[in-house]
Structure 1
Amino acid sequence: MTGGPGEPGTDRTRRFGRTELPPDLEQALRRAVRLEWITIVMLAVTVTLVIVVMGSSQAMKAAWIEDMLSFIPPLAFLIAVRVINRPPTEKRPYGNHRAMGVGHLVAAVALLVMGAYLIIDSGSGLLMAEHPPIGTFHLFGHTVWQGWFMMAVMLLSIPGPVILGRMKIKIAEQLHDKVLYADADMNKADWQTGVATIVGVGGVGLGLWWFDSAAAIFVGLSILKDGATNVGTALSDLADTRARTIEGAEEHPLVRQAETQALTFAWVRHAGARIRDEGHVFHTELFVVPAPGAALTVDALEDLRQSVADLDWKLEDVAIVPVSELPAEVHGGTPQDKQSEGGGR
């Protein structure tokens, strides 16, 4: 076998730290890497074409900035995938999974700042009633309005992000990858930008000068919204909030599943999980209150730990903590939960 750990295109098993990915997820990761490289090539072509035709249009300027920002999520993903592949060390006992969270935060802040910049810049142009000059080209002896070229470039830029975004969403959910999910959000902003820019340039052609700035402001609002949402999610993860779904809307179901699994053991009276999201994987502390008279052995604890870890590949680090009562910050399972599950082992 050739290539280093985590290198795309090699036959070596792919890992997230010490977690060896199942074959289907290994394939999904390779596909995600390919999609990100395709995205980068597509953006390079689009950015070049936009520069050629953009002229003085605020909408085209906004589209160009948005396309430049679109490089950040795929680059963050490709770098983070290599970093997190490194196994835990004495210096980094939890591994390097936070690299994904850092990449997510960097991409989100860039979106937030540039969205705000576009709104302020385009808004000032609208308030000052700046009329964007859209010139003409001389092509094969004919004078052609430059706006047609602008709209053609934007029209060509729409299908790629639509297709890539849909493909990335599915893989992001499989891998629990929030950088890839943010990139899919960015792809949605890309095609919306294309549509808004076409409307803005077309409005100028019809004599509605303010359409150009209005379209740029719409693009800025879209970027600002994506940035604010992703900044909130990234900060929550880095601040060790309870693990949530990839959209950040609700608690991740693995929290309750881990507690329910613990209650299937006869010697467990109560169980409560404290799970934090480290990137792709979760660090899990499972607090258990032993039943009265239960013989607590190392083997019993190890059986429980392995049983919980086997629930899902994302449960990379599982620590079993016997306690006399559950900590206040975990809601935990109850004896009624255990009865509803039907006995124990």
Structure 2
Amino acid sequence: MSKLPEPIQDDINRAVRLEWWTIFWQATIVVAMAFVMGSSQAMKSAWVEDTLGLVPAIVFLLALHFERKSPTRYFPFGFMRANSLAFLIAATALFFMGGYLIYDAGSKLIMQEHPTIGPIEILGTQVWMGWLMIAALIYSVIPPVIIGRMKQPIARKLYDKVLYTDSLMQKADWMTGLAATLGILGVGFGFWWADSVAALIISVDIVHDGFRASKIATAELIDGAPRQIDSDAIAEDADDLKKVLEKEFPDGTVRIRETGRYMAAEVTGIEPPHNPPTREELWPGDKQEAWRFALLSFAR
């Protein structure tokens, strides 16, 4: 599949542009956060989450690069599953980094480590470092939330779980900013534990995102039935396609699996028809989405 389906070319191009914008803005956020991080555990967790925000965008672009490649001798079916592999990489990175941050923040809470957020001199004026941290956090929220909302409708059109997970993480970024801000204000008011508690909240959110995404990605890679883009439930269009194929080939057994953004169907127990219907004829919904039905095979 060296050329992506024509109906989604424009959406793919828009997604690519948004991911490059994500990398640019996320990089500026990571740098800004690093400058004001100090000894705050909440800021550290927020900085790590912002850094991890680069991973889905990067793996999406890498997966798309391989998806466009033609089949080779060693990969005769092409690279349609590159998207699934990229999804698993992004999910695994989230899950394990979130687990480490829970351990890190939890251990500091147990040991009662008191973070220090002191003043800093700017142009001869003493300014509490916490205000700079909060300003950086506000900045870290605005671009991701806007770009995340722009990605969601495109992700649904492309049935791209990497892009969709990325958009969810970015849309929910305000929660990270709020938790970290409350932690910093808590330290300012003398509640030393607020910083570690905020870091734990952020870390648990990271683990939740990673665990949910890894479940769906694993199902794809072990030939699971196509899942909905926003849950682990079977996709409705996959169920509808299965019914159409069962009606078209009543003596056969129909199985449908997910392969990246595409579906592959296999009908077993019958002789392959001489003139099988086209995928547009078999597709149960909008014919503009028939590109999703990438492969139909028969086996005795």
Fold shared, TM-score > 0.5 on shorter chain: yes
How many Å apart are 1:233 and its aligned residue?
A: 1.0
The counterpart of 1:81, out of the listed 64, 71, 81, is: 64
Between the aligned partners of 2:171 and 2:200, the Cα distance in structure 1 is 17
2:148 is aligned with what amino acid?
G
Counting aligned pairs with the same residue, the percent is 39
Distance 1:211 1:297, change over 3 A: closer
For residues 30-69 of structure 1, what are the structure 2 equivalents within 5 Å? 30-69=13-52
Higher relative contact order (CA 8 A, sep 6+): 2
1:312 aligned counterpart, secondary structure: helix
The counterpart of 1:225, out of the listed 194, 201, 208, is: 208
2:293 is aligned with what amino acid?
L
- The answer to whether residue 240 in structure 2 is matched with residue 257 in structure 1 is yes
1:108 is aligned with what amino acid?
A
2:177 is aligned with what amino acid?
G
How many Å apart are 1:80 and its aligned residue?
A: 0.6
For residues 67-106 of structure 1, what are the structure 2 equivalents within 5 Å? 67-106=50-89
* 1:48-94 deviation per Cα after TM superposition (whole angstroms, max 9, x unaligned): 11111111110111111111111110000011111101123343222
2:259 is aligned with what amino acid?
E
Between the aligned partners of 2:297 and 2:235, the Cα distance in structure 1 is 18
Distance 1:88 1:146, change over 3 A: same
Contact 1:286 1:320 in 2 (8 A): yes
Distance 1:111 1:189, change over 3 A: farther
Between the aligned partners of 1:280 and 1:304, the Cα distance in structure 2 is 19
Contact 1:261 1:308 in 2 (8 A): yes
Between the aligned partners of 1:39 and 1:304, the Cα distance in structure 2 is 39
1:49 is aligned with what amino acid?
A
Which of these two proteins has the greater Rg computed from alpha carbons? 1
Between the aligned partners of 1:178 and 1:90, the Cα distance in structure 2 is 28
Between the aligned partners of 2:273 and 2:18, the Cα distance in structure 1 is 49
Distance 1:180 1:120, change over 3 A: same
Distance 1:200 1:315, change over 3 A: same
Between the aligned partners of 1:287 and 1:232, the Cα distance in structure 2 is 28
Return the TM-score normalized by structure 2. 0.91
1:184 is aligned with what amino acid?
S
The counterpart of 1:303, out of the listed 265, 269, 277, is: 277
Contact 1:76 1:103 in 2 (8 A): yes
1:315 is aligned with what amino acid?
F
* 1:21-50 deviation per Cα after TM superposition (whole angstroms, max 9, x unaligned): 31xx21111111111111111111111111
How many Å apart are 1:154 and its aligned residue?
A: 0.4
Partner of 1:327: none
Partner of 2:133: 150
- Decide which moves more: 232-241 or 214-223: 232-241
Between the aligned partners of 2:226 and 2:170, the Cα distance in structure 1 is 26
How many Å apart are 1:167 and its aligned residue?
A: 1.6
How many Å apart are 1:17 and its aligned residue?
A: 4.3
Between the aligned partners of 1:154 and 1:230, the Cα distance in structure 2 is 25
- The answer to whether residue 1 in structure 2 is matched with residue 20 in structure 1 is no
Partner of 2:224: 241
Between the aligned partners of 1:189 and 1:320, the Cα distance in structure 2 is 44
1:92 is aligned with what amino acid?
F
Contact 1:17 1:97 in 2 (8 A): no
Contact 2:119 2:128 in 1 (8 A): yes
Between the aligned partners of 2:273 and 2:191, the Cα distance in structure 1 is 78
The counterpart of 1:280, out of the listed 261, 274, 287, is: 261
2:291 aligned counterpart, secondary structure: coil
How many Å apart are 1:306 and its aligned residue?
A: 6.0
- The answer to whether residue 143 in structure 2 is matched with residue 141 in structure 1 is no
How many Å apart are 1:272 and its aligned residue?
A: 4.6
Between the aligned partners of 1:222 and 1:288, the Cα distance in structure 2 is 47
Between the aligned partners of 1:41 and 1:305, the Cα distance in structure 2 is 39
Between the aligned partners of 1:275 and 1:136, the Cα distance in structure 2 is 61
Between the two proteins, the alignment pairs up a number of residues equal to: 296
Contact 2:262 2:293 in 1 (8 A): yes
How many Å apart are 1:118 and its aligned residue?
A: 0.8
- More helix per residue: 1 or 2? 2
Partner of 1:316: 294
Distance 1:318 1:134, change over 3 A: same
Between the aligned partners of 1:224 and 1:297, the Cα distance in structure 2 is 48
Contact 2:99 2:207 in 1 (8 A): yes
Between the aligned partners of 1:118 and 1:78, the Cα distance in structure 2 is 27
Gaps of at least 5 residues in structure 2 are: none
Return the TM-score normalized by structure 1. 0.80
Partner of 1:168: 151
1:246 aligned counterpart, secondary structure: coil
Contact 1:305 1:320 in 2 (8 A): no
Gaps of at least 5 residues in structure 1 are: 1-15, 291-295, 324-345
Contact 2:95 2:210 in 1 (8 A): yes
